[in-house]
Amino acid sequence: AAGVIQSPRHLIKEKRETATLKCYPIPRHDTVYWYQQGPGQDPQFLISFYEKMQSDKGSIPDRFSAQQFSDYHSELNMSSLELGDSALYFCASSPLETSEKYNEQFFGPGTRLTVL
């Protein structure tokens, strides 16, 4: 079965640089979520999109922005990177609102971001 695709899988950046993470949801999933997971920690919700509109916002820094495109893929843009931004970034997707499993979230393999 198709899964959530994230790219790149690994990314190394210097402080103050920018980074763009991409997420391709499971086909026919229209909701995308972004999570940040620090070492030894649980995933923290950043932001979500439903039908290309921002649907909810969590602890996402102002330096970060995201959007969902017409093909439902999403990109997380991170600027002025700081050492503390080093983490695993996961994207998850959910089925259509009309599905009985509409709030099940399926996670991608993640992007490991290292800021030097």
Partner 1 sequence: GENVEQHPSTLSVQEGDSAVIKCTYSDSASNYFPWYKQELGKGPQLIIDIRSNVGEKKDQRIAVTLNKTAKHFSLHITETQPEDSAVYFCAASRDYKLSFGAGTTVTVRA
Tell me which residues touch partner 1 (CB under 8 A): 4, 31, 33, 35, 41-45, 48, 55-56, 58, 90, 94, 103-110
Smallest separation (angstroms) from partner 1 to the CB of 56: 5
Q: Which residue's CB is nearer to partner 1, number 16 or number 38?
A: 38
> How far, in Å, CA of 3 to CA of 5, rounded?
6
Of residues 10, 28, 29, the one with CA closest to residue 103: 29
Q: Which residue's CB is nearer to partner 1, number 78 or number 93?
A: 93
Smallest separation (angstroms) from partner 1 to the CB of 87: 13
Is residue 36 within 8 A of residue 89, CB to CB? The reply is yes
> How far, in Å, CA of 30 to CA of 13, rounded?
30
Q: Which residue's CB is nearer to partner 1, number 103 or number 114?
A: 103
> How far, in Å, CA of 57 to CA of 79, rounded?
18
Smallest separation (angstroms) from partner 1 to the CB of 45: 5
Q: Which residue's CB is nearer to partner 1, number 39 or number 84?
A: 39
SS3 85: helix
